[in-house]
């Protein structure tokens, strides 16, 4: 069984890169993809823990995270399409009012 | 170096590289492509951890379904003119990068200096845990209730997506 | 333990046969379409025009590779590569025969006998959409873009029905391994009827067959490249060998789909009633490989016949068929199979 420390450090690195994308980018779709990146980094550490502890719960949690990510992608992209129809832009700084 | 560590290093390096490209590309389609590369690297890493079911599901669900949806939406909106969206290097971005670097330092510090718990299982047990049969039997017995809840979430998501994206007739 | 070079040999042989067969099918399609439309077709180059394949290949390689100025050059180059590599990859888990005695080793006639074979195939088919949609996007041409969009919507829609129709087969065979699924079909139902999934899962077979047409972008579902509406669809802006690769990927996909239909529903390499023929194991293995090839050829022939007989669907009809007919039917199939298994076992 490989040592899981490198996996956890890799997972942390990917998480931070994703977080940086969320705070620094202004394109709604790229922000969205950065969130997917963060979710995936967490999945990696869950699988690593599951491998170390010999417990399948971590992998099952990953399975649930994936279904939630799929639901989130469907809803999020529907919101993106609806926003783009209204504003003709995906710049998050310009999407700044709560109600039309 | 053993073969495992070589495989890990290559996959980890390409995962980090593609992740950096995802957040820095100007064009969303290129970002999406690098994100797919990243997902493939992660699937390979899952295989090195003997999680074969999760690895194939990673490709099937993330790369094959979620990212297709992303590419589809990017193409549908035809986000050609990217110059307007990108806002160059501003002080906000530099501060954000600084905070992220600090966060990464913290993570790495904690992970390196914490006492790792000893591995509790053998390699044969690890291969058994990741199989479709084992995960399926656990999913439909011990985790049946959360499994049913996810189907509810997915139904709600389908209805929500249709309601949101439907063009109003007014 | 089987040595590495035997695995390499298997890969080389399978790839070689697959690529030759794909080239051959392009020629066959032209001859059969000519026959159906009461024409002659290509018959000048070589015996029965068989060397037409060579002539076409030389033409495609020699042609100038034109990339539109406004295209995204990298993606434009990558898209055909994705298409062709995924079309060829899928064949890796399909068993084309039982075991064979080769150089003193018992060799399984399958490149990669993985225990998640079906999931691998589903993953690969879901990746196939990238080649087409990226080709459409990177060409920077409205017809290509529409072709790419249509194809991604179409593939996502039909993947669901395809995946669900396989579930019935998996429930019967109780395995995700493709060679296990074939093994399960070598029994007999009532003494004279082989237990092929065609007879056990007729509804699943029909759904899978229709979805396979949609997944390979063949008529009556070839909307991503419908000539009268979209010029050439996603490959309008492609020329030379890059266009050739798309063409080639289409035919390779067709052969892989046929092989998959054969494996899942038509008993794979199994020859009914061959158990009591009393031939030697080596001859039997070779006969089984031959049987697999014959079955695949019949399905490919059917693919070609359908293309030249049935008109193209309209786009809303395509979506209606996928979401409102095939998907509910495949769910009903899973339910029915489950009920049947429960009744038989209790």
Q: Average pLDDT, whole number, for chain C?
A: 83
| Cα separation, A90 vs B51, whole angstroms | 37
B18 pLDDT more than 60: yes
- Which residues of chain C are within 8 Å of residue B135 when distances are taken between CB atoms? none
DSSP state of C277: S
B166 φ/ψ angles, rounded to the nearest 5 degrees: -65, 135
pLDDT at B71: 86
Neighbours of chain A (3+ CB pairs under 8 A): B
Instruction: Delineate the domains of chain B, giving CATH numbers in brackets.
Output: 1-80 (1.20.120.1200)
pLDDT at position B89, please?
65
Nearest CA in chain B to C147: B75
pLDDT for the residue C309 = 84
Give tens-digit pLDDT for B104-152.
888 888 877 877 666 666 656 666 777 888 888 888 888 899 999 999 9
Q: Does position B38 have pLDDT exceeding 90, yes or no?
A: yes
pLDDT, tens digit (0-9, with 9 covering 90-100), for C87-139: 888 888 888 877 777 777 777 777 777 788 888 888 888 888 888 888 888 88
Measure B59 CA to nearest chain A CA, in Å.
Answer: 11
In chain B, residues with a C-beta closer than 8 Å to the C-beta of A8 are: 111
Best CA proximity match to B12, nearest among B45, B47, B58, B35:
B45
So what's the pLDDT on residue B124? 62
Q: How far is C157 from chain B (nearest CA, A)?
A: 11
- Chain C closest-CA separation from residue B29 CA (Å): 9
pTM across the whole model: 0.87
For position A40, what pLDDT does the model report? 92
A14 Cβ under 8 Å from any chain B Cβ: yes
What is the CATH number assigned to the segment(s) A5-87?
Answer: 1.10.287.3510
pLDDT of residue B42: 92
Cβ–Cβ contact C149 with B under 8 A: yes
- The answer to whether the Cβ–Cβ distance between B70 and A33 falls below 8 Å is yes
The predicted pLDDT at position C129 comes to: 84
- Interface check for C236 against chain B (CB to CB < 8 A): the answer is no
Q: Do B75 and C145 touch (CB under 8 A)?
A: yes
pLDDT band at C55 (very low <50, low <70, confident <90, very high): confident
Among candidates B30, B60, B132 on the partner chain, residue whose Cβ is nearest the Cβ of C126:
B60
pLDDT at res. B122 = 61
Q: Which residues of B touch C164 (CB under 8 A)?
A: none
Distances (CA, A) of B170 to A26, A78, B167, C76: 31, 19, 9, 40
Cα(A96)–Cα(A26) distance, integer angstroms: 12
pLDDT bucket at C251, cuts 50 / 70 / 90: confident
Dihedral pair phi/psi, residue A94, rounded to 5°: -90, -15
Whether chain B has a CB inside 8 Å of the CB on A75: the answer is: yes
Q: How far is CA B9 from CA B37, B109, B113, in A?
A: 16, 20, 21
Q: How far apart are CA C143 and CA C224, in angstroms?
A: 10
Residue B80, pLDDT score? 57
**A65 contacts chain B (CB < 8 A):** no
Residue range C292-321, pLDDT digits in tens: 888 898 998 888 888 888 888 888 888 888
- Which of B157-161, C233-237, C265-269 is predicted with the least confidence, judged by mean pLDDT? C233-237
Q: What is the pLDDT of residue A2?
A: 57
Percent of chain B whose pLDDT exceeds 90: 16
Q: Which residues in chain A have their CB less than 8 angstroms from residue B160's CB? A: 74-75, 78
Q: What are the tens digits of pLDDT across the range C193-222?
A: 777 877 788 888 889 988 888 888 777 777
User: How many beta-carbon contacts under 8 Å exist across A and B?
Assistant: 229
Chain C contact probe: residue of B60, B82, B127 with most C CBs at under 10 A: B60
pLDDT of C67 above 60:
yes
Establish if C89 touches chain B: CB-CB under 8 angstroms. no
Q: What residue ranges do the domains of chain C occupy?
A: 4-345
Tell me which chain B residue has its CA closest to the CA of residue A55.
Answer: B129
* Domain locations in chain A as residue ranges: 5-87
Q: Which of A26, A52, A62 sits opposite B87 (nearest CB)?
A: A26
Q: Do A16 and B112 touch (CB under 8 A)?
A: no
**B3: part of which helix (H) or strand (E)?**
helix B3-24
β-strand partners of B167: none
CB contact under 8 A, B72 and C116: no
Q: How far is B134 from chain A (nearest CA, A)?
A: 8
Residue C184 has pLDDT above 60, yes or no: yes
- CA dihedral of residues B73, B77, B83, B87 (deg, nearest 10): -60
Q: Do chains C and B touch (3 or more CB pairs under 8 A)?
A: yes
The string of DSSP letters for B38-105 reads: HHHHHHHHHHHTT-HHHHHHIIIIIIIIIHHHHHHHHHHHT----TTT-----HHHHHHHHHHHHHHH
Q: What is the pLDDT of residue C253?
A: 87
């Amino acid at each position: 069984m490989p040592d899981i420390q490198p996996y956890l450090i890799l997972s942390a690195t990917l998480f931070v890169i994703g977080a940086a994308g969320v705070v620094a980018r202004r394109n709604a779709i790229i922000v969205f993809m950065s969130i997917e990146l963060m979710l995936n980094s967490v999945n990696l550490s869950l699988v690593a823990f599951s491998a170390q502890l010999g417990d399948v719960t971590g992998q099952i949690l990953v399975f649930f995270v994936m279904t939630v990510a799929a639901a989130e992608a469907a809803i999020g992209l529907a919101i993106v399409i609806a926003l783009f129809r209204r504003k003709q832009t995906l710049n998050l700084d310009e999407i700044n009012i709560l109600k039309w | 170096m053993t073969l495992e560590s070589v495989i890990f290093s290559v996959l980890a390096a390409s995962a980090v590289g593609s992740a950096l490209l995802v957040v820095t590309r100007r064009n969303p389609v290129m970002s999406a492509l690098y994100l797919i590369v990243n997902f493939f690297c992660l699937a390979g890493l899952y295989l090195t951890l003997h999680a074969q079911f999760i690895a194939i599901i990673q490709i099937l669900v993330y790369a094959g379904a979620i990212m297709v949806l992303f590419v589809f939406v990017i193409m549908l909106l035809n986000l050609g003119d990217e110059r307007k969206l990108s806002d160059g290097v501003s002080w906000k971005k530099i501060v954000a990068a600084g905070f992220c670097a600090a966060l990464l330092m913290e993570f790495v510090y904690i992970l390196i200096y914490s006492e790792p718990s000893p591995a509790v299982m053998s390699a044969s047990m690890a291969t058994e845990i990741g199989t479709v049969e084992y995960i399926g039997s656990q999913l439909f017995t011990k985790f049946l209730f959360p499994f049913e809840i996810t189907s509810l979430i997915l139904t709600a998501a389908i209805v929500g997506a249709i309601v949101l994206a439907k063009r109003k007739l007014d | 333990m089987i040595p590495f070079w035997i695995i390499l040999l298997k890969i080389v042989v399978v790839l070689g046969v697959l690529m030759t067969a794909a080239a051959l099918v392009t020629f066959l399609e032209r001859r059969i379409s000519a026959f159906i439309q009461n024409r002659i077709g290509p018959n000048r180059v070589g015996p029965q025009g068989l060397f037409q394949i060579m002539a076409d290949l030389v033409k495609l390689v020699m042609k100038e590779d034109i990339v539109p100025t406004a295209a995204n050059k990298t993606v434009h180059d990558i898209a055909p590569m994705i298409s062709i590599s995924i079309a060829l990859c899928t064949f890796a888990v399909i068993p084309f025969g039982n075991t064979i005695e080769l150089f003193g080793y018992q060799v399984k006639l399958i490149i990669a006998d993985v225990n998640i074979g079906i999931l691998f195939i589903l993953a690969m088919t879901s990746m196939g959409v990238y080649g087409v949609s990226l080709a459409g996007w990177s060409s920077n041409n409205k017809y290509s873009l529409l072709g790419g969009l249509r194809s991604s919507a179409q593939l996502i829609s039909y993947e669901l029905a395809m995946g669900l129709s396989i579930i019935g087969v998996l429930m019967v065979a109780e395995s995700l391994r493709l060679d296990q699924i074939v093994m399960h079909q070598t029994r007999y139902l009532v003494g004279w009827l082989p237990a092929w999934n065609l007879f056990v899962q007729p509804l699943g077979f029909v759904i899978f067959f229709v979805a396979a047409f949609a997944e390979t972008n063949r008529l009556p579902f070839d909307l991503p490249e419908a000539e009268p509406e979209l010029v050439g669809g996603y490959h309008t802006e492609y020329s030379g060998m890059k266009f050739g690769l798309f063409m080639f990927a289409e035919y390779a996909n067709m052969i892989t789909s046929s092989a998959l239909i054969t494996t899942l529903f038509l008993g794979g390499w199994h020859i009914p009633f061959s158990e009591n023929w009393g031939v030697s194991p080596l001859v039997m293995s070779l006969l089984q490989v031959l049987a697999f090839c014959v079955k695949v050829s019949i399905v490919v022939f059917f693919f070609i016949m359908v293309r030249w007989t049935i008109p193209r669907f309209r786009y809303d009809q395509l979506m209606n068929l996928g979401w409102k007919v095939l998907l509910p039917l495949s769910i009903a199939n899973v339910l029915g199979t489950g009920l049947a298994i429960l009744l038989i076992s209790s």
